[in-house]
Amino acid sequence: MVLLENKVAVITGGTRGLGLGIAQTYAAAGAAVVIAGRSKSTLDTAIAELEANGARAAGTTCDVSDLEQVEALGAFAVETFGKIDIWVNNAGLSAPYGPTTAIPASAFMRVVNTNIVGVYNGSMVALRHMLPNRSGKLINLVGRGSNDRDGVKFQNAYASSKAWGRSFTLSLARENEDSGVGIFAFNPGLVDTDMLRQVEVVPGFEERVKPLETVMRLWANEPDLPAQKALWLASSATDGKSGLLVNVLTGQRVMGGLLREALRRITGKPAPDMSLDIRTLAPERQQS
Ligand SMILES: NC(=O)c1ccc[n+]([C@@H]2O[C@H](COP(=O)([O-])OP(=O)(O)OC[C@H]3O[C@@H](n4cnc5c(N)ncnc54)[C@H](OP(=O)(O)O)[C@@H]3O)[C@@H](O)[C@H]2O)c1
Protein backbone atom coordinates (compact mmCIF):
# COMPACT_ATOMS: atom_id res chain seq x y z
CA MET A 1 0.00 0.00 0.00
CA VAL A 2 1.35 3.47 -0.91
CA LEU A 3 0.73 5.29 2.37
CA LEU A 4 2.49 8.56 1.59
CA GLU A 5 1.58 9.14 -2.04
CA ASN A 6 2.11 12.83 -3.06
CA LYS A 7 3.51 13.69 0.37
CA VAL A 8 6.73 15.60 0.98
CA ALA A 9 8.79 14.68 4.05
CA VAL A 10 11.76 16.48 5.59
CA ILE A 11 14.02 14.30 7.75
CA THR A 12 16.81 15.99 9.70
CA GLY A 13 19.77 13.66 10.24
CA GLY A 14 18.40 11.67 7.30
CA THR A 15 21.85 11.04 5.89
CA ARG A 16 22.65 7.87 7.86
CA GLY A 17 21.42 5.58 10.65
CA LEU A 18 17.76 5.68 11.59
CA GLY A 19 17.10 8.90 9.66
CA LEU A 20 18.24 7.32 6.39
CA GLY A 21 16.11 4.25 7.22
CA ILE A 22 13.09 6.52 7.69
CA ALA A 23 13.86 8.34 4.42
CA GLN A 24 14.06 5.02 2.55
CA THR A 25 10.81 3.78 4.09
CA TYR A 26 8.94 7.03 3.39
CA ALA A 27 10.24 7.08 -0.20
CA ALA A 28 9.14 3.46 -0.73
CA ALA A 29 5.71 4.54 0.53
CA GLY A 30 5.48 7.20 -2.19
CA ALA A 31 6.83 10.34 -0.50
CA ALA A 32 9.38 12.75 -1.92
CA VAL A 33 12.07 13.05 0.75
CA VAL A 34 14.36 15.90 1.74
CA ILE A 35 17.24 14.88 3.98
CA ALA A 36 19.79 16.98 5.85
CA GLY A 37 22.94 16.57 7.92
CA ARG A 38 26.15 18.48 8.54
CA SER A 39 28.48 16.38 6.37
CA LYS A 40 28.22 17.08 2.62
CA SER A 41 29.89 13.81 1.59
CA THR A 42 27.54 11.72 3.77
CA LEU A 43 24.59 13.67 2.35
CA ASP A 44 25.70 13.04 -1.25
CA THR A 45 26.18 9.31 -0.60
CA ALA A 46 22.74 9.05 1.01
CA ILE A 47 20.99 10.86 -1.85
CA ALA A 48 22.72 8.61 -4.39
CA GLU A 49 21.58 5.55 -2.40
CA LEU A 50 17.99 6.81 -2.21
CA GLU A 51 17.90 7.63 -5.92
CA ALA A 52 19.37 4.25 -6.80
CA ASN A 53 16.36 2.74 -5.03
CA GLY A 54 14.02 4.85 -7.17
CA ALA A 55 13.29 7.55 -4.58
CA ARG A 56 12.42 11.16 -5.31
CA ALA A 57 15.08 12.59 -3.02
CA ALA A 58 16.95 15.83 -2.45
CA GLY A 59 18.94 17.28 0.39
CA THR A 60 21.06 20.05 1.73
CA THR A 61 23.65 20.42 4.45
CA CYS A 62 22.19 21.85 7.63
CA ASP A 63 23.24 22.11 11.24
CA VAL A 64 19.95 21.98 13.12
CA SER A 65 21.36 24.03 15.99
CA ASP A 66 21.30 27.11 13.71
CA LEU A 67 17.78 28.46 13.12
CA GLU A 68 18.75 30.20 9.87
CA GLN A 69 20.02 26.92 8.43
CA VAL A 70 16.82 25.12 9.46
CA GLU A 71 14.72 27.89 7.87
CA ALA A 72 16.80 27.45 4.72
CA LEU A 73 16.12 23.69 4.85
CA GLY A 74 12.37 24.36 4.98
CA ALA A 75 12.64 26.80 2.07
CA PHE A 76 14.72 24.28 0.10
CA ALA A 77 12.04 21.60 0.56
CA VAL A 78 9.31 23.94 -0.68
CA GLU A 79 11.43 25.13 -3.64
CA THR A 80 12.26 21.55 -4.60
CA PHE A 81 8.99 19.70 -4.04
CA GLY A 82 6.42 22.49 -3.52
CA LYS A 83 5.34 21.89 0.08
CA ILE A 84 6.06 20.14 3.41
CA ASP A 85 3.62 17.52 4.74
CA ILE A 86 5.85 15.65 7.21
CA TRP A 87 8.81 16.84 9.29
CA VAL A 88 10.91 14.43 11.34
CA ASN A 89 13.29 15.96 13.89
CA ASN A 90 15.62 12.98 13.91
CA ALA A 91 19.10 14.59 14.07
CA GLY A 92 20.61 13.70 17.43
CA LEU A 93 23.88 13.27 19.28
CA SER A 94 25.13 11.82 22.53
CA ALA A 95 27.96 12.96 24.82
CA PRO A 96 30.79 10.77 26.16
CA TYR A 97 29.66 8.17 28.71
CA GLY A 98 30.64 9.12 32.26
CA PRO A 99 29.94 11.44 35.18
CA THR A 100 28.46 14.80 34.20
CA THR A 101 31.26 16.64 36.01
CA ALA A 102 33.87 14.86 33.82
CA ILE A 103 32.20 15.61 30.48
CA PRO A 104 33.76 18.51 28.53
CA ALA A 105 31.41 21.49 28.52
CA SER A 106 31.75 21.64 24.71
CA ALA A 107 30.47 18.04 24.36
CA PHE A 108 27.57 18.69 26.74
CA MET A 109 26.62 21.85 24.85
CA ARG A 110 26.76 20.04 21.49
CA VAL A 111 24.06 17.70 22.76
CA VAL A 112 21.98 20.60 24.07
CA ASN A 113 22.38 22.50 20.79
CA THR A 114 21.40 19.54 18.61
CA ASN A 115 18.88 17.59 20.71
CA ILE A 116 17.17 20.58 22.32
CA VAL A 117 17.80 23.74 20.27
CA GLY A 118 17.69 21.68 17.04
CA VAL A 119 14.33 20.11 17.89
CA TYR A 120 12.96 23.53 18.85
CA ASN A 121 14.23 25.03 15.55
CA GLY A 122 12.84 22.18 13.44
CA SER A 123 9.48 22.23 15.21
CA MET A 124 9.08 26.00 14.75
CA VAL A 125 9.94 25.87 11.05
CA ALA A 126 7.71 22.82 10.45
CA LEU A 127 4.73 24.35 12.26
CA ARG A 128 5.14 27.61 10.40
CA HIS A 129 4.55 25.62 7.20
CA MET A 130 1.86 23.29 8.57
CA LEU A 131 -0.41 25.37 10.80
CA PRO A 132 -1.72 27.69 8.05
CA ASN A 133 -2.68 24.57 6.03
CA ARG A 134 -4.30 22.91 9.06
CA SER A 135 -2.53 19.67 8.17
CA GLY A 136 0.80 17.91 8.53
CA LYS A 137 2.72 15.55 10.81
CA LEU A 138 5.58 16.59 13.08
CA ILE A 139 7.54 13.71 14.59
CA ASN A 140 10.22 14.35 17.24
CA LEU A 141 12.64 11.59 18.18
CA VAL A 142 13.00 10.88 21.87
CA GLY A 143 14.94 8.05 23.51
CA ARG A 144 16.77 6.95 26.65
CA GLY A 145 15.74 9.36 29.39
CA SER A 146 12.33 10.25 28.02
CA ASN A 147 10.63 7.50 30.04
CA ASP A 148 13.01 7.35 33.03
CA ARG A 149 11.50 9.04 36.04
CA ASP A 150 14.60 8.49 38.22
CA GLY A 151 17.21 9.93 35.84
CA VAL A 152 19.96 8.13 33.91
CA LYS A 153 23.43 8.21 35.37
CA PHE A 154 26.50 8.69 33.15
CA GLN A 155 24.32 9.66 30.17
CA ASN A 156 22.96 12.85 31.61
CA ALA A 157 23.39 15.15 28.61
CA TYR A 158 21.58 12.76 26.26
CA ALA A 159 18.93 11.51 28.68
CA SER A 160 17.97 14.94 29.98
CA SER A 161 17.76 16.26 26.41
CA LYS A 162 15.37 13.44 25.51
CA ALA A 163 13.28 14.06 28.65
CA TRP A 164 13.05 17.66 27.47
CA GLY A 165 12.12 16.43 23.97
CA ARG A 166 9.22 14.41 25.34
CA SER A 167 7.86 17.28 27.45
CA PHE A 168 8.37 19.85 24.69
CA THR A 169 6.67 17.71 22.05
CA LEU A 170 3.67 16.71 24.14
CA SER A 171 3.24 20.32 25.28
CA LEU A 172 3.29 21.49 21.64
CA ALA A 173 0.68 18.85 20.82
CA ARG A 174 -1.59 20.06 23.60
CA GLU A 175 -1.23 23.70 22.57
CA ASN A 176 -2.16 22.81 18.99
CA GLU A 177 -4.72 20.07 19.57
CA ASP A 178 -7.37 21.59 17.32
CA SER A 179 -4.93 22.67 14.61
CA GLY A 180 -5.25 19.70 12.26
CA VAL A 181 -1.50 19.04 12.65
CA GLY A 182 -0.40 15.75 14.25
CA ILE A 183 2.49 16.20 16.71
CA PHE A 184 4.15 13.04 18.02
CA ALA A 185 7.03 11.93 20.24
CA PHE A 186 8.68 8.78 18.89
CA ASN A 187 11.05 6.51 20.82
CA PRO A 188 12.52 4.02 18.31
CA GLY A 189 14.00 1.67 20.93
CA LEU A 190 17.56 0.46 20.41
CA VAL A 191 18.67 0.84 16.81
CA ASP A 192 21.91 -0.56 15.41
CA THR A 193 23.54 2.68 14.18
CA ASP A 194 26.79 4.61 14.58
CA MET A 195 25.35 6.32 17.65
CA LEU A 196 25.03 3.01 19.44
CA ARG A 197 28.21 1.34 18.15
CA GLN A 198 30.68 4.21 18.51
CA VAL A 199 30.91 5.05 22.17
CA GLU A 200 33.19 7.70 23.60
CA VAL A 201 33.85 7.24 27.33
CA VAL A 202 35.47 9.15 30.17
CA PRO A 203 38.75 7.41 31.19
CA GLY A 204 38.02 4.61 33.67
CA PHE A 205 34.47 4.00 32.42
CA GLU A 206 35.33 1.62 29.56
CA GLU A 207 34.25 -1.56 31.38
CA ARG A 208 30.95 -0.02 32.43
CA VAL A 209 29.73 0.36 28.83
CA LYS A 210 30.60 -3.23 27.84
CA PRO A 211 27.21 -4.63 29.02
CA LEU A 212 25.68 -2.53 26.24
CA GLU A 213 26.86 -5.26 23.83
CA THR A 214 24.53 -7.75 25.54
CA VAL A 215 21.70 -5.22 25.67
CA MET A 216 22.12 -4.62 21.94
CA ARG A 217 22.15 -8.35 21.21
CA LEU A 218 18.86 -8.71 23.05
CA TRP A 219 16.98 -5.67 21.85
CA ALA A 220 18.64 -3.68 19.06
CA ASN A 221 16.86 -3.57 15.70
CA GLU A 222 17.95 -2.58 12.23
CA PRO A 223 16.62 0.89 11.28
CA ASP A 224 13.87 -0.51 9.02
CA LEU A 225 11.82 -1.81 11.97
CA PRO A 226 11.41 1.52 13.80
CA ALA A 227 11.14 3.20 10.39
CA GLN A 228 7.93 1.24 9.77
CA LYS A 229 6.52 2.71 12.98
CA ALA A 230 7.60 6.18 11.85
CA LEU A 231 5.74 5.48 8.60
CA TRP A 232 2.58 4.67 10.50
CA LEU A 233 2.97 7.90 12.51
CA ALA A 234 3.34 9.96 9.33
CA SER A 235 0.37 8.33 7.60
CA SER A 236 -3.34 9.13 7.74
CA ALA A 237 -3.68 6.30 10.28
CA THR A 238 -2.80 8.85 12.98
CA ASP A 239 -5.17 11.59 11.82
CA GLY A 240 -6.90 12.99 14.90
CA LYS A 241 -4.41 11.28 17.26
CA SER A 242 -2.00 14.16 17.93
CA GLY A 243 -0.08 13.93 21.19
CA LEU A 244 0.90 10.26 21.00
CA LEU A 245 4.14 9.08 22.58
CA VAL A 246 5.03 5.93 20.66
CA ASN A 247 7.61 3.45 22.01
CA VAL A 248 8.97 0.70 19.76
CA LEU A 249 10.45 -1.26 22.67
CA THR A 250 7.24 -2.60 24.22
CA GLY A 251 7.05 -5.21 26.98
CA GLN A 252 6.28 -7.80 24.31
CA ARG A 253 9.48 -6.96 22.41
CA VAL A 254 11.50 -7.12 25.64
CA MET A 255 10.17 -10.65 26.24
CA GLY A 256 10.75 -11.56 22.57
CA GLY A 257 14.41 -10.53 22.83
CA LEU A 258 14.91 -12.60 26.00
CA LEU A 259 13.30 -15.67 24.41
CA ARG A 260 15.38 -15.33 21.22
CA GLU A 261 18.57 -15.15 23.29
CA ALA A 262 17.55 -18.18 25.39
CA LEU A 263 16.84 -20.15 22.21
CA ARG A 264 20.15 -19.11 20.71
CA ARG A 265 22.01 -20.38 23.77
CA ILE A 266 20.08 -23.67 23.86
CA THR A 267 20.75 -24.35 20.18
CA GLY A 268 24.38 -23.21 20.48
CA LYS A 269 24.08 -20.74 17.62
CA PRO A 270 26.88 -18.16 17.49
CA ALA A 271 26.00 -14.75 18.93
CA PRO A 272 25.58 -11.97 16.37
CA ASP A 273 28.47 -9.51 16.39
CA MET A 274 27.47 -6.52 18.50
CA SER A 275 30.96 -5.33 19.33
CA LEU A 276 31.29 -1.70 20.28
CA ASP A 277 33.93 0.73 19.12
CA ILE A 278 34.85 2.15 22.55
CA ARG A 279 37.03 5.26 22.44
CA THR A 280 38.48 6.74 25.59
CA LEU A 281 38.23 10.51 25.85
CA ALA A 282 41.68 12.11 25.81
CA PRO A 283 42.38 13.52 29.32
CA GLU A 284 42.99 17.05 28.00
CA ARG A 285 39.54 17.02 26.29
CA GLN A 286 37.92 16.56 29.67
CA GLN A 287 38.80 20.15 30.52
CA SER A 288 37.50 21.82 27.33
N1 LIG B 1 20.31 4.44 17.88
C2 LIG B 1 19.49 4.26 18.91
O3 LIG B 1 19.51 3.21 19.58
C4 LIG B 1 18.49 5.33 19.29
C5 LIG B 1 17.62 5.07 20.37
C6 LIG B 1 16.68 6.03 20.74
C7 LIG B 1 16.61 7.24 20.04
N8 LIG B 1 17.48 7.46 19.01
C9 LIG B 1 17.39 8.78 18.32
O10 LIG B 1 17.25 8.58 16.93
C11 LIG B 1 17.86 9.67 16.23
C12 LIG B 1 18.82 9.13 15.18
O13 LIG B 1 19.83 8.42 15.85
P14 LIG B 1 20.86 7.46 15.09
O15 LIG B 1 21.12 6.33 16.00
O16 LIG B 1 20.40 7.19 13.71
O17 LIG B 1 22.15 8.40 15.07
P18 LIG B 1 23.39 8.41 14.05
O19 LIG B 1 23.54 7.11 13.38
O20 LIG B 1 24.52 8.96 14.84
O21 LIG B 1 22.93 9.50 12.94
C22 LIG B 1 22.71 10.83 13.35
C23 LIG B 1 22.27 11.66 12.16
O24 LIG B 1 22.04 13.00 12.61
C25 LIG B 1 22.90 13.91 11.90
N26 LIG B 1 23.25 15.00 12.81
C27 LIG B 1 23.88 14.95 13.99
N28 LIG B 1 24.00 16.17 14.53
C29 LIG B 1 23.42 17.03 13.66
C30 LIG B 1 23.23 18.43 13.64
N31 LIG B 1 23.66 19.23 14.63
N32 LIG B 1 22.60 18.98 12.58
C33 LIG B 1 22.15 18.20 11.56
N34 LIG B 1 22.31 16.87 11.52
C35 LIG B 1 22.95 16.29 12.56
C36 LIG B 1 24.06 13.04 11.42
O37 LIG B 1 24.71 13.55 10.27
P38 LIG B 1 26.03 14.50 10.41
O39 LIG B 1 26.90 13.89 11.45
O40 LIG B 1 26.61 14.53 9.03
O41 LIG B 1 25.49 15.84 10.83
C42 LIG B 1 23.32 11.76 11.06
O43 LIG B 1 22.68 11.88 9.81
C44 LIG B 1 18.51 10.54 17.31
O45 LIG B 1 17.67 11.62 17.65
C46 LIG B 1 18.66 9.59 18.47
O47 LIG B 1 18.73 10.26 19.70
C48 LIG B 1 18.41 6.55 18.61
pTM, rounded to two decimals: 0.97
- Give the ligand 1 atom nearest the CA of 61: 33
Catalytic status, residue 120? no
Q: How confident is the model at residue 1 (pLDDT cuts 50, 70, 90)?
A: low
Is the pLDDT at 177 greater than 80? The verdict is: yes
Give per-residue burial for 30-62: e unless 16+ CB within 10 Å, then b. ebbbbbbbbeeebbeebbebbeeeebebbbbbb
pLDDT at 283: 76
List 26, 97, 120, 158, catalytic entry: 158
- Give the ligand 1 atom nearest the CA of 223: 16
Distance 132 CA to ligand 1 centre (A): 29
pLDDT at 179: 98
Residue bearing the CA closest to ligand 1, atom 25? 13
Strand order in the sheet with 32-37: 56-61, 32-37, 8-12, 86-89, 136-141, 181-187, 245-247
pLDDT at 287: 56
- Angle (nearest 5°) at CA 199 between 193 and 201: 165
Which phi and psi (to 5°) does residue 37 adopt? -160, 180
pLDDT, averaged across the chain: 96
pLDDT at 284: 63
Q: Could you report the per-residue pLDDT of 228-253, keeping only the tens digit for each? A: 999 999 999 999 999 999 999 999 99
How deeply is 87 buried, as exposed, middle or buried, from its count of CB atoms within 10 A (0-12, 13-18, 19+)? buried
Q: Count the Cβ atoms, other than its own, within 10 Å of residue 258.
A: 12
pLDDT at 271: 87
Residue to substitute in 60, 62, 89, 90 for testing ligand 1 pocket (most ligand atoms within 8 angstroms of CB): 90
Distance 194 CA to ligand 1 centre (A): 8
Distance 124 CA to ligand 1 centre (A): 19
How deeply is 272 buried, as exposed, middle or buried, from its count of CB atoms within 10 A (0-12, 13-18, 19+)? exposed
Residue to substitute in 50, 117, 120, 195 for testing ligand 1 pocket (most ligand atoms within 8 angstroms of CB): 195
Cα dihedral sign, 182-186-188-194: positive
Provide residues with CB under 6 Å of ligand 1: 12-13, 15-19, 37-39, 42, 62-65, 90-93, 114, 118, 141, 143, 188, 190-191, 193-196
Is the pLDDT at 32 greater than 70? The verdict is: yes
Is the pLDDT at 181 greater than 80? The verdict is: yes
pLDDT at 39: 98
Question: Which domains are present in the chain?
Answer: 8-192+221-249 (3.40.50.720)
Q: Count the Cβ atoms, other than its own, within 10 Å of residue 240.
A: 7
Q: Could you report the per-residue pLDDT of 93-122, keeping only the tens digit for each? A: 999 999 999 999 999 999 999 999 999 999
Distance 92 CA to ligand 1 centre (A): 4
- Give the ligand 1 atom nearest the CA of 65: 31
Segment 205-223 shows an average pLDDT of: 94
Segment 141-170 shows an average pLDDT of: 96
Distance 220 CA to ligand 1 centre (A): 16
